[in-house]
Structure 1
Amino acid sequence: RYRDGQPQYLTGGIHHYLCQTRSKRDSRRELLCVAVTMADVYPGEGWNFVYGQACFVEHVGVYSFARLDPLFYRATAEEIQRTPLTEEHSIIILRRCIKIILHEIGHIFGLYHCIYYLCLMNGFNNETEMDWKPLHLCPVCLHKLYSTLQFDVRHLYATFANLCDTYGLEKECKWYRKRLQYLQ
């Protein structure tokens, strides 16, 4: 469909396609499959858009970069492409991308929207809500995910701290390093 002159794609169709390609993937090495697109997506009639949507049963998900650029609502696609990307914009977009994909992967692994703490798994409806949401799971959601996957929390936090440091996510790097100190 077209919305405000821009094409939008139904997430269910993308989920269906990912499920059809399952036979071509190595299920012993793949826990999930996530499609990433620059196109705007929506989950059904009555919805304006979604940033992403996961299908827990099929272990597939889709998420869209389309609305993550701070210029999205103020400029045409052509203007966005012509506008030089500042470091500040790059960090905002990267942080939003990571939050969305990790949020959707959380859904794929059975996590619902968190209602207990400020958490990566909180639901959000706009970029302002997304921006104040942290890039980490609360203790409740971390425990749920750990119960399912049995991973090494220290290793996960060290990996995330290093990645955040590499990509200039200073606030998040500090958070992970501080938690690592508590876990020592």
Structure 2
Amino acid sequence: MRRFLFLVFIILFSCNSKSEKNDYFKDISENDIKLFPPKPGDWLYSYREKGQTFEQFINSKHLVPTKENNIIYLQPIGKFNSLQVKQIELTREYLEIFFQLKTETLKDVSNDIIPKHARRIGPDQNEQFLAGFILDSVLKKEKPQKGIGLMALTEVDLYPKPEWSFVFGLASYRDRIAVSSIYRLHDERLQNKDFNLCLERLLKICSHEIGHMFGLHHCIDANCAMNGTNSLSETDEHTLRLCSNCQRKLNSGLKYDNVKRLKELEKYFKDNKLTSGFELMEKDLKNIQ
């Protein structure tokens, strides 16, 4: 009899937990903002993507943390000024909250690691590194302890192949590695006046690329951190927030406490004076209370 009652309790608890989670995603879905029809130059105007339903995500092969692999790593490459160093640390803090996984920054690597054949002077007369070289010849060799994802950050501009003028970043989701550049995220030299704009762009790019590592496709349903982007202006139009469907996907794999994550994001945005992010989290919190 006791065993029967115990099993009934487990079943009821499990059902209640699932119901609470579903209620959470339903409640915050009221704050999802539908995308405007794409205009020339936008990502969805150039690439007619089909999107990814929750069921498609569940039935796909996607990365799930284990006891052996559960840490996200950042690898700075280059000589960063004090403001850039601060941004990298704030990005680490953000990713740790965003994915609810421990996130660590590895020791800086010198630009000398990039050989001459993987460098060029680009169309804008600035030095650029070949993004694919960083993935294949730098990051693939690194095996950080308990690493589940590895993202390099450079202060030098990147290009993916000779015919392209530049790229914000590049990733190999199969290998769980990515590289992004801070170079184009601010005007000429990073200053205090554009610190928050640059930071917000960096947070969007890093969370987006690592989101892909965890199996999230581009979002085509709502304004979302997983929207594809063709330009910096389009990146600025997109939100820091994951839509309710993308949050549901991420949570199904990472198994974190939704409310804890939401409160921590709200505090992060408030502490760092990122007004738009703070207001979005505040709206979600109101909807679940």
Q: How does 1:153-172 map to 2 (within 5 A)?
A: 153-172=258-277
Paired residues of 1:55 and 1:107 also in contact (CA < 8 A): no
Report SS of the residue matched to 2:128: strand
Moved over 6 A (4+): none
Whose radius of gyration is greater, 1 or 2? 2
The aligned amino acid for 2:239 is P
- Tell me: higher relative CO, structure 1 or 2? Use CA pairs within 8 A at least 6 residues apart: 2
Q: After superposition, what is the alpha-carbon deviation per residue over 1:58-99, rounded to whole angstroms, capped at 9, x for unaligned?
A: 111111101000x24xxxxxxx37xxx243x11111111111
* Structure-2-length-normalised TM-score: 0.55
Q: After superposition, what is the alpha-carbon deviation per residue over 1:93-152, rounded to whole angstroms, capped at 9, x for unaligned?
A: 111111111111111112122111111111112121111100011122112212221222
Is 1:2 the equivalent of 2:2? Answer: no
Paired residues of 1:157 and 1:180 also in contact (CA < 8 A): yes
Paired residues of 1:113 and 1:122 also in contact (CA < 8 A): yes
**Deviation at residue 33 of structure 1 after TM alignment:** 1.0
More deviation, 161-170/174-183: 174-183
**Deviation at residue 49 of structure 1 after TM alignment:** 1.8
More deviation, 47-56/100-109: 47-56
Report SS of the residue matched to 1:36: strand
Q: Which residue of 1 aligns with 2:34?
A: none
User: RMSD of the TM alignment (CA)?
Assistant: 1.6
* Structure-1-length-normalised TM-score: 0.84
Gaps of 5+ in 2: 1-119
**Deviation at residue 44 of structure 1 after TM alignment:** 2.4
Report SS of the residue matched to 1:8: strand
Q: Which residue of 2 aligns with 1:13?
A: 133
Give the Cα–Cα distance (whole angstroms) in 2 for the partners of residues 45 and 114 of structure 1: 29
Identity level (%):
33
Report SS of the residue matched to 2:179: strand
Give the Cα–Cα distance (whole angstroms) in 1 for the partners of residues 257 and 167 of structure 2: 32
Given candidates 90, 99, 113, the residue that maps to 2:204 is 99
Give the Cα–Cα distance (whole angstroms) in 1 for the partners of residues 213 and 199 of structure 2: 21
The aligned amino acid for 1:159 is E
